[in-house]
Amino acid sequence: MLIPFFFVLREGGLRPSITELLTLLEAMKKGVAGQSVDDFYFLSRACLVKDESKLDRFDRIFAAYFKGVEDSLVDLMEEIPEDWLKKQAELVLSDEERAKIEALGGFEALMKALQERLDEQDERHEGGSKWIGTAGTSPFGAYGYNPEGVRIGQQGSRNRRATKVWDRREYRNLDDSIELGTRNIKVALRRLRRFAREGAADELDLEDTIDRTARNAGLLDIRMVPERHNAVKVLLCLDVGGSMDDHVRVCEELFSAARTEFKHLEYFYFHNFIYESLWKDNQRRHGERIPTLDIAHKYGADYKLIFVGDATMSPYEIVYAGGSVEHWNEEPGAVWIKRLLNTYSKAIWLNPEPKQRWEFTPSTKLTREIMENRMFPLTIAGLDEGIKVLR
Amino acid sequence: MVNTKFTGTSKYVATDDLMMAVNAAVTLERPILIKGEPGTGKTQLAIEVAESLGKPLFEWHIKSTTKAQQGLYEYDAVARLRDSQLGDDRVHDISNYIVRGKVWEAFQSDEQPVLLIDEVDKADIEFPNDLLQELDRMEFYVYETKQLVKAAHRPIIVITSNNEKELPDAFLRRCFFHYIKFPDKETMSRIVDVHFPKLKKDLLREALSAFYKVRDVPGLKKKPSTSELLDWIKLLLAEDVPPELLNAKDSRKAIPPLYGALLKNEQDVHLFEQLVFLDRRADSN
């Protein structure tokens, strides 16, 4: 019976292998799990999921697949104190909306609607498109967030065992398409590591010492080598101000992760697009500017170039001389960025705007073309893809 | 009396899902990989599993410079070189210079041991791949002495990771996996209970709610974890702080006493003090 489940998991984007399925079957045969569904859930999770960012996805697939086994809706009804929900609804809903709920047939129907809404959102999210998208437009918009509220209700956890554990979705914020924390970014950036030996020789090279000593007729000949360290060099150019204000936090996180991760990290700021000069200190951006050409000359071609920006502006700012919103630029931004790209063959653009929106912003499309498609969303998944290009 | 199933110990509270993962690993004799926030008891788990099942424990702590080979054995070429210069007779037998690693020791144990490979992600990115065969077949070959070392009893292997590096798929496929999530209030009070059985109920309640309040402060770089909570309670007990002080409604005393045990980062302490200050100002207006 587990083979269909196995394939559902694979379709759902998890990648359990045959050996893992066999392990699960072996464990069940040996009676590790008892008869209860909870036991089976724990066991299959330990066998088939090896990455905490995939746990939430596993929970959702498990819930969808084993829905027939136990009707989760009944339990959900039991778990949430009704007057708590009422109170919550009063807080959140307007008079008009409350009237609509009455029209729907009271709280029982509301609960059903909530559950459906929850399912719907899961599926849409699985499909890979935006997952809190249309909350505002549907009649259930206001309590589109309430499924989360339902989850809060479970924190009281007076009888934890009553809810389906997989329905609690406790691992939600570990899903890699949602949250981007400093630690996650570091993990992603670490893939850029290139170890090399450079600098002072302060480590004993055992192999070479033995080799040389043997050649030296048995007299000790000590050989030293420099210590290994991360030799990747990174040039980070960050867009600041204007439309980037919404993305300050995520950029800060990226920046702080990059700073600890790379020994050779140089960073510069720009506004909207690259022109003839950049700056290092936002407070003195008008006074202390560094010519872009100097940067290209100073830092060697082995540096990897990362732009971070939403690329949302008027297309004139990219293609016309004098298009910049801040100053008169003699040459268009596109020329300047191409100069940089000529120097640095390894370059990517990270865009904090959701990928679906790129198509609708002409400047983003244009930037993407200039970058030869090397534009990636600023999420862990996007960062991963980008890092692959940089390597 | 030796248990065959792990159910937590008098000092360690295991949740149902953790017990299931551990027992599956014990039954099938496969490694189990434990991940989770720092301070949630990953390393402690191996120690407690060994204790509750009455098995010997071998600990192998991984550092950034650790090589897979060091867990198996090392050939001490320098000692042999020195002996050869001094004309020592030992030099003729190469096995005198084979230094056994933790994995070898565990393989040689008379009864089934527990082997802890702590913080596997600290090592080089290729480290787990170098151990695949050894963990799978529980045997390895010593080239210097042309000897095959095979585990007398397949050890229960507990591997912990802090997620600093991603582990290779081939390695993951051979393990069971468990992510220790941060305990909820109920589990947390059970945990505190096993550590401080005589703790007054009201102090525990106040301490826990103050603790979760600190955890909820947005923007903390390092949220306090279980081990920090236990340290803090230890301090509170030592200083004999009355429970009322912990959650004083009077916001002038809103900073929990001895909070240095909870916040380990000066930026966090600063942020926390600022929030309390803002809170106080809002109250006085």
The model's pLDDT over A290-305, given as tens digits with 9 standing for 90+, comes to: 888 888 888 888 888 9
- Choose between B1 and A188: higher pLDDT: A188
**B16·A42 Cβ contact <8 A:** yes
Q: How many CB atoms lie within 10 A of CB A254?
A: 25
Quick check: A27 contacting B, CB < 8 Å? yes
Tell which wins on pLDDT, A261 or B64: B64
Q: What sections of A162-247 are H helices per DSSP?
A: 165-168, 182-190, 206-215
* Band of pLDDT at residue B9, cut at 50, 70 and 90: confident
Q: What is the pLDDT of residue A308?
A: 87
Rounded to an integer, what distance in angstroms lies between the CA atom of residue A52 and that of residue A171? 7
Chain B residues in contact with A32 (beta carbon < 8 A): 20, 23-24, 27-28
Q: CA of B260, closest CA in chain A: separation in Å? A: 23
Phi, psi (rounded to 5 degrees) for A32: -65, -45
What pLDDT does A97 receive?
58
Mean pLDDT score of chain B = 83
Interface of A with B in 155-194 (CB under 8 A): 155, 157, 160, 165, 170-171, 174, 183, 186-187, 190-191, 193
Residues 186-225 of B with CB under 8 A from A: 186
The answer to whether residue B85 neighbours chain A at the CB level (below 8 Å) is yes
Provide the pLDDT for residue B32: 92
This prediction has a pTM of 0.59
Mutation to test the B interface, candidates A25, A38, A42, most B Cβ within 10 Å: A42
Report pLDDT for B118: 92
Out of B20, B125, B167, name the one closest to residue A46 (CB).
Answer: B20
B265 touches A at CB < 8 Å: no
Residue type, A121: Q
pLDDT for position B159: 93
**Residues of chain B with C-beta less than 8 angstroms from the C-beta of A163:** none
Q: Which two tokens stand for residue B72?
A: 């198996």
Of A170-184, B49-63, B77-91, the poorest mean pLDDT is in A170-184
Give tens-digit pLDDT for B137-184. 889 999 888 889 999 889 999 999 887 667 888 888 888 999 888 888
Most B CBs within 10 Å: which of A38, A51, A166, A186, as the mutation test of the B interface?
Answer: A51
Q: Which amino acid is at B204?
A: L
Residue from the list B27, B175, B181 with its beta carbon closest to the beta carbon of A32: B27
The 3-state secondary structure of chain B, one letter per residue: CCCCCCCCECCECCCHHHHHHHHHHHHHCCCEEEEECCCCCHHHHHHHHHHHHCCCEEEEECCCCCCHHHHHEEECHHHHHHHHHHCCHHHHCHHHHEEECHHHHHHHCCCCCEEEEECHHHCCCCHHHHCHHHHHHCEEEECCCCEEEECCCCCEEEEEECCCCCCCHHHHHCCEEEEECCCCHHHHHHHHHHHCCCCCHHHHHHHHHHHHHHHHCCCCCCCCCHHHHHHHHHHHHHHCCCHHHHCCCCHHHCCCCCHHHCCCCHHHHHHHHHHHHHHHHHHHC
ipTM tops the 0.90 cut: no
In chain A, whose CA is at the least distance from the CA of B28?
A27
> Which positions ≥6 away from A356 have C-beta within 8 Å?
A129, A130
What is chain A's pLDDT, residue by residue, as a tens digit (391 residues)? Answer: 678 888 888 888 788 888 888 888 888 888 887 777 788 888 888 888 888 878 888 888 888 887 765 544 344 334 444 444 444 444 455 556 556 555 555 555 555 655 555 555 544 433 333 333 333 333 333 333 333 333 333 333 333 333 455 665 666 555 444 445 556 666 667 666 666 666 677 788 888 888 888 888 778 888 888 777 667 888 888 888 777 777 777 777 777 777 777 778 888 888 888 888 888 877 767 777 888 888 888 888 888 898 988 888 888 888 888 888 778 888 888 889 888 988 888 899 988 888 888 888 888 888 988 888 889 988 878 888 888 888 7
Helix (H, G, I), strand (E, B) or coil at A108: helix
More confidently predicted of B195 and B255: B195
Using the Cα atoms of residue B15, residue B16, residue B21 and residue B27 in order, give the sign of their dihedral: positive
Most A CBs within 10 Å, among B5, B18, B20, B221, to test the A interface: B20
